[in-house]
Structure 1
Amino acid sequence: MAPFMFIGGEGSVTRNHIDIDMSHVFITQFQGIKHIWLFPWEQSDLLYKLPYNFHSLANVKEPDFDEFPGLKYINGYEAVISPGETLYIPSGWWHYIQYETEGYSVSVRALPSSWLEKWRGFKNMVIIRNFDNLMRNIFKDRWFRHKVKAARSRAEKAIKKQKSFQI
């Protein structure tokens, strides 16, 4: 387990992301109030996950359904934690965090128990991140544009899948 401290001012945000190492996270609020939105890994395409990256394009707090129609189909959780409260974020879950007030928290991370999640974390840290960095250095903005196009294409496929379940 490795603890991390997070400090933020009122209104500051951490954009929607998954943790690169695929850890389970227990986040305890010590001062201030933090608002957290959570989404399962399976909704990555609807969240416009950037390939070879651990962030999504869309703002889940203030969704633009015209630009990101996949957000109409996401199902997640919303939590507000205050001093003395702890929130568990499972391995691979997306989270968007906003400080409602200035404050700080400590998160304790634990590696996942499944070998699949451990492999994903290792692959993300050693292979995926380095590949993405290399491609960004070589292709610069062209690489980012390619990833945005791929994220939008995956979202369109995921939307079609969602629509096929509706009657």
Structure 2
Amino acid sequence: MEPLVDIVIEDARWEALGLDALAELAVRAAFAELGLPEVGFSLCLMGCDDARILELNGDFRGKPKPTNVLSWPSEERGVDAGEVPDLPEPGEADDPESLGDIAISYDTCALEAAEAGKPMADHVSHLIVHGLLHLLGYDHIRAADGDLMEATEVRILARLGLSDPY
């Protein structure tokens, strides 16, 4: 089976955690929950460290500080407050529709997981789902959108056997 996620590892600690397997499971669970086919889409996930994500967060969001996850959708999918975004149409198997890119920082994820007393793999799976939902047009700027996004995340994480992180 073709991988859904192209993985770019900039920090070797991600290899030890098994970022590629975590990403595949998280994305497949999200696609199943949302009714998206596993063929016809692609996305890229970069596993990096705080220094790299600080640079990206500064360049793209004007926030020169580390964060856990960043997303760059290939297409803006604006919706009315609290509305489910229109899901993209899949491309062909040999020419998949790109959903966009996600970057995730090992340092911040490890710190957050430790502070929350949860396994790193569970926290990373949640953040991959969170980043993917951003690629699909979900957001949490407005309260109604945040409620919808959180509820969607909780359902996807339940498919992975993970408890409600909220």
Q: Could you say which TM-score interval applies, normalised by the shorter chain?
A: under 0.3
Higher Cα Rg, which structure: 1
More helix by share: 2
Structure 2-normalised TM-score?
0.25
Higher relative contact order (CA 8 A, sep 6+): 1
Structure 1-normalised TM-score?
0.25
